Chain A
Amino acid sequence: MTLETLKPYLPWITLFVLAGIVGAANPAFFNPVGLVALVADITPLFIMALGMTFAIYIGGIDLSVQQMANLVTVIATVYLAQFGIGVAFVCVIVGFLFGAISGFITTRLYVPSFVSTLAMGFVALSGAKFLSGERALSMDATLRDQSFGWMFGNTAGVPHELIIAGVLLFIAWFLQKRTTFGRALKAVGSGELAAVASGLNVDRIKILAFAISGMFAAIAGLMFSVKLSGGDANLANGFLLLAIVAVLVGGTPLTGGVGGVVNTVIGTLIVVVIRAGMVYLEIDATQQQMVFGIVLIAAIALTIDRSKLRGVVK
């Protein structure tokens, strides 16, 4: 058994080994109520990672997700009174459009996605600062509960966040596995030149992938905003690293083409376990970023498909 044959199972193995270690150190970790709460808590990050999966699946990257979520927390807070639940629609549209513009800049203007999304992220940040007046805003509690109270709560012991995450996961999974668009995504991720040669409209597929990434980031921002009952141009800072980690640790390599949204579920769970482990092992919160940075490097190094880089790694 070589590393190559082991590769598809590596995320699962990592998850169970890590969970085993943390559980052995602290048996209370396996308490179902605590576990469910831990997982529910990370839902906004999971949704963001779900969208990011599409950008990475086609071999790109979306560095704007964090700023996108920041912008949406502000939009949701500012326009909640005016639009009620309709603000969710506004947020999703804004996310979709921003992502589509990033995709357009990448495909039609030949700007590498890490630059185009980074730049669009700063445009979004600018918008967030403008709308919020560079202050931390808070939502009106009654309005929030009226419009978005359903997002949080329990039905038969299942937190609503998990149900929302499940629905979104199903949509993403359906898009990826059961539609022609999903097959086209795989074709683009596996080999863009071959996809072009076989007559696919690659530009349109890539633009859509970035738009989906932006849209999910917006949904994540909306949930986060409702959860914290407010909006601020820096509210979602710190999400970007974890979202990338969740996708890559799950087994969708930076080179795209394999993996997918189900892998991101595993990746997100690994992030949950690592976080919980750090709490139990009393590793200070200030060290988390360092730990996840190193985890990220390890994950990329293990998953990346070097045959696709054609010998040249820029």
Chain B
Amino acid sequence: MADTMANATPAARFLTRDRIIKWAPLLVLGVLILLFPFFEWLEDIRAGEAHAYLIDSRFFSIRNAARIGIAAAPALMVAVGVTFIIIMGSIDLSMEGTVSVCAVIFAFAFLAWSGTVLSWAWLAIPAAMLVGAAMGFINGLVHVKLKIPSFMASLAMGFVGTGLALLLTGGDRTRVEDPIFRSLLTERWLNFPVMVYVAFAFLLIAWFIQSRTTLGRNFYAVGGGEELAHASGLNVERVRLMGFTLAGVFFAVGALLAVGRIGIAETATGNNFMFVSITAVVVGGTALWGGIGGVWNTLVGVLIVSVINNGMVVIGLPAYVQDAVLGILVILAVVLSTDRRSVSFVK
């Protein structure tokens, strides 16, 4: 490949840096989807039970795709939320706290208002989203008004959120057993549970916000060059505040799906969302420096992370390997998406 790039100019023009960065995540996803069944196939041959590659694969099956979808749906919502922030060139690390608080408040309100979606208890769903918006707004205020770098402001707010969830629950778990709410997981259309469709619907909303609204365009303007955006009359502070608030709403949706998935709301509901969602966004091709990428990249990123997690279990690798693989993956993704000529130094 290096030869063709050196010799043939059309190929070189075809394989521009921008284009590689744009399509690499999808390519990685495709390769992973073919690679895991291959390992599985090798394993079976070694065990003397050869099966047809891809066709009889346990990994490459509708049933497993549904499993990946269930694992990915809440993470996708959280990752989509943080995508907006990363497009602006900031970061939000508060998701674990926000998700926990939203999940817990949702469960409390839902049960207090009689515990079934068919009564006024459905109001707990918008209530949770409002709580998410409020937490995102406070997060944004701390970042914008106190002029604290977003990674630290949001990290601290995340600790506050986890602490608040712990305070509310006292460390207890709350079960949400309403069959209609749980149909997010139990009801299946075309082999996929409802929560996958819900997540997809919110992805479409996010895409609409990103590409069809002024706010969405403003995120890119801020991420592309804040001084320029400011000079051209944009109220950058307001855009940032709105971004963090919007992210909070998506974290709340992630919390609702997470509760729908396991039927339990607790302080630990938010665990692991931070690293998984940041990894997914970055691996999907949204640059940490802002201005590039979007929610479809995040979909690809979440799928890459979920496929890796699922595939490693299917081919029999122990679970502890996943943390290290994700750690290395996020570093690789940031390295590959960084244009070194344009970065003088990093903190």
State whether the Cβ of A114 lies closer than 8 Å to any Cβ in chain B. yes
Q: How far is the CB of A161 from chain B (nearest CB, A)?
A: 26
Q: How far is the CB of A1 from chain B (nearest CB, A)?
A: 23
State whether the Cβ of B153 lies closer than 8 Å to any Cβ in chain A. yes
Bound form: Cα–Cα A268–B55 in Å: 60
Interface-located stretch among B46-54, B200-208, B322-330:
B322-330
Q: How far is the CB of A31 from chain B (nearest CB, A)?
A: 30
Q: How far is the CB of A255 from chain B (nearest CB, A)?
A: 9
Q: Which residues of A sit under 8 angstroms from B144, Cβ to Cβ?
A: 313
Q: Which residues of B sit under 8 angstroms from A289, Cβ to Cβ?
A: 159-160, 162-163, 166
* 1/0 contact string of B160-174 vs chain A (CB within 8 Å): 111110110011000
Q: What band does the interface of chain B fall in when counting residues whose beta carbon is under 8 Å from A?
A: 35 or more
A286 touches B171 (CB 8 A): yes
Which partner residue on chain B sits nearest A302 by CB separation?
A: B146
Q: How far is the CB of A251 from chain B (nearest CB, A)?
A: 16
State whether the Cβ of B6 lies closer than 8 Å to any Cβ in chain A. no
Q: Which residues of A sit under 8 angstroms from B142, Cβ to Cβ?
A: 297, 301
Bound form: Cα–Cα A301–B335 in Å: 31
B159 touches A314 (CB 8 A): no
Choose from A60, A109, A301, A312 the contact partner of B146 (Cβ within 8 Å).
A301
Bound form: Cα–Cα A127–B325 in Å: 11
Bound form: Cα–Cα A296–B328 in Å: 29
Q: Which residues of A sit under 8 angstroms from B11, Cβ to Cβ?
A: none
Choose from B320, B334, B338 the contact partner of A126 (Cβ within 8 Å).
B320
B152-194 CB contacts (< 8 Å) to partner A = 152-153, 155-164, 166-167, 170-171
Q: How far is the CB of A147 from chain B (nearest CB, A)?
A: 27
* 1/0 contact string of B249-291 vs chain A (CB within 8 Å): 0000000000000000000000000010010001000001010
Which partner residue on chain B sits nearest A286 by CB separation?
A: B166
A134-B320, A300-B152 known; A193 and B163 CB under 8 Å?
no
Bound form: Cα–Cα A301–B142 in Å: 9
State whether the Cβ of A65 lies closer than 8 Å to any Cβ in chain B. no
B301-347 CB contacts (< 8 Å) to partner A = 318-328, 330-331, 334-335, 338, 340, 343-347
Bound form: Cα–Cα A309–B149 in Å: 9
B334 touches A115 (CB 8 A): yes
A116-B331, A121-B327, A122-B324 known; A193 and B344 CB under 8 Å?
yes
* 1/0 contact string of A104-129 vs chain B (CB within 8 Å): 01110111111110111111011101
Q: How far is the CB of A296 from chain B (nearest CB, A)?
A: 4
State whether the Cβ of B56 lies closer than 8 Å to any Cβ in chain A. no
Bound form: Cα–Cα A196–B346 in Å: 13
Q: How far is the CB of B241 from chain A (nearest CB, A)?
A: 13
17 residue pairs of the A-B complex, CB under 8 angstroms, read A110-B335, A110-B340, A118-B275, A120-B327, A123-B324, A125-B323, A126-B320, A126-B323, A196-B345, A254-B149, A290-B160, A290-B167, A293-B159, A297-B160, A300-B148, A306-B147, A314-B150
